[in-house]
């Protein structure tokens, strides 16, 4: 019995990196048309983690992963419904991707991803719903902000700010904030000139916040609406002055996180040049 325990510990240590499991680090449940659903797994150790006999499930169905699959040390592995489509979409064949034998379609309304090791122990699980995560941004993945924090905390996930809609196989720090984060802005540039230069505002706000931005002249007359929608994936608002005449204008930015109430309001001046 004692010998078995030592053997089991050694196997566990070898497969899960001395007891530290890989974690689900990014999920794409609503790809663009023709794209593939995928789940990214990150290895937080300096040891390769073999996924032989590991399984992926949603709590009711379990799928064994490819016995040859492994997550590289300090690296990522992507589990996808269709690896070929995924690589085509992101224009690179270098994405380390594995297709499970069967794929249970992910739901944006309410779903769960459970990663179990070879012994059936839960290594990591992530559960989400539209109520806690908000409406899934079409064509954009959700990224785990802190890989060492719980995956079931909605405040630990944010929409990808990558222009491609996600970063399968590589880690990035999204410039967008998770739900519940505070709201602030930062003026990067106040100068705008039509077609050649943009006034830029860096937005620090929950990824699901809505932003309405407009421009007023100094007589308080509304001159233009420059943005109305979910905050840009880039986390920046850029405006080149449009058709306005040269001069000083005031930019008003209003953020709404839930409902119609304005959660935060900011005013900044900008100069439209010739």
Partner 1 sequence: MPNASQVGMGGVPVAWSPEGGSKEANPALADARSGWFAGAGLTHPFGLADLDLSGLWAGRGRSGWVPGFAFRWKNLRAGNLHTEDRWDLDVATGDGNWQAGAGMRWGRAEFADGGSDWIQGCALGAVAKPHPLLAAGLSWEDASVFGTSDARMVQPWLARAGLVAQARDSSWTSSVSLEKRQDKSLSWAMGQELRWQVLRLRAGLRLEPWTLAIGAGVRWQGVGLDWAQEGDPRLGWQQHWTVSVEL
Q: Which is nearer to partner 1, 120 or 247 (CB)?
A: 247
φ, ψ (nearest 5 deg) of residue 222: -70, 130
Stretch that binds partner 1, among 15-23, 32-40, 143-151, 261-269 (CB under 8 A): 261-269
Q: Which is nearer to partner 1, 9 or 269 (CB)?
A: 269
Stretch that binds partner 1, among 20-28, 30-38, 158-166, 241-249 (CB under 8 A): 241-249
| Contact call for residue 248 and partner 1 (CB under 8 A) | yes
Give the total residue count for the chain.
Answer: 274
Among 222, 196, 221, 220, residue whose Cα is nearest residue 212: 222
Q: Which is nearer to partner 1, 93 or 248 (CB)?
A: 248
Q: How far apart are CA 108 and CA 185, in angstroms?
A: 29
| Contact call for residue 267 and partner 1 (CB under 8 A) | yes
**Residue 11: helix, strand or coil by DSSP?**
helix
| Contact call for residue 131 and partner 1 (CB under 8 A) | no
Q: Are the beta carbons of 270 and 199 closer than 8 angstroms?
A: yes
| Contact call for residue 220 and partner 1 (CB under 8 A) | yes
Encode 70-107: b = buried (16+ Cβ within 10 Å), e = exposed: bbeeebbbbbbbbbebbbebbeeeebbbbbbeebbebe
Q: Which is nearer to partner 1, 154 or 252 (CB)?
A: 252
- CB under 8 Å to 141, separation ≥6 — which residues? 26, 27, 28, 38, 40, 159, 160, 165, 166, 167, 168
Q: Name which position in 193, 224, 263, 264 contacts partner 1 (CB under 8 A).
A: 193
Structure tokens at 262: 């304005």
Stretch that binds partner 1, among 109-117, 178-186, 224-232, 260-268 (CB under 8 A): 260-268
Stretch that binds partner 1, among 100-108, 135-143, 146-154, 190-198 (CB under 8 A): 190-198
Q: How far apart are CA 28 and CA 55, in angstroms?
A: 19
Q: Which is nearer to partner 1, 12 or 216 (CB)?
A: 216
For binding to partner 1 (CB under 8 A), which residues are involved?
190-191, 193, 216, 218-222, 245-248, 250, 252, 265, 267-269, 271, 273-274
């Amino acid at each position: 019995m004692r010998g078995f325990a030592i053997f089991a510990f050694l196997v566990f240590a070898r497969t899960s990196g001395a007891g530290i499991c890989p974690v689900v680090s990014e999920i794409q449940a609503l790809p663009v048309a023709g794209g593939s659903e995928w789940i990214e797994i990150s290895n937080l150790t300096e040891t390769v983690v073999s996924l032989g006999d590991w399984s992926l499930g949603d709590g009711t169905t379990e799928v064994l992963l490819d016995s040859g699959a492994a997550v590289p040390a300090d690296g990522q592995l992507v589990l996808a419904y269709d690896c070929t489509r995924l690589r085509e979409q992101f224009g690179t064949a270098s994405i380390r991707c594995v297709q499970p034998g069967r794929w249970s379609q992910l739901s944006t309304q309410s779903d769960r991803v459970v990663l179990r090791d070879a012994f059936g122990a839960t290594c990591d699980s992530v559960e989400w719903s539209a109520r806690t995560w908000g409406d899934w941004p079409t064509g954009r993945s959700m990224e785990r902000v802190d890989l060492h924090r719980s995956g079931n905390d909605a405040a630990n996930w944010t929409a990808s700010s990558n222009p491609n809609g996600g970063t399968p196989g590589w880690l990035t720090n999204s410039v967008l904030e998770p739900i519940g984060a505070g709201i602030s802005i930062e003026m990067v540039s106040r100068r705008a000139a039509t077609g050649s230069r943009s006034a830029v505002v860096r937005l620090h706000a929950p990824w699901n916040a809505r932003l309405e931005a407009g421009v007023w002249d100094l007589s308080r007359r509304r001159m233009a609406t420059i943005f109305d929608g979910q905050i840009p994936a880039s986390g920046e608002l850029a405006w080149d002055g449009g058709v306005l005449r040269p001069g000083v204008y005031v930019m008003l930015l209003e953020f709404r996180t839930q409902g119609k109430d304005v959660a935060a309001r900011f005013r900044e001046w900008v100069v439209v040049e010739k």
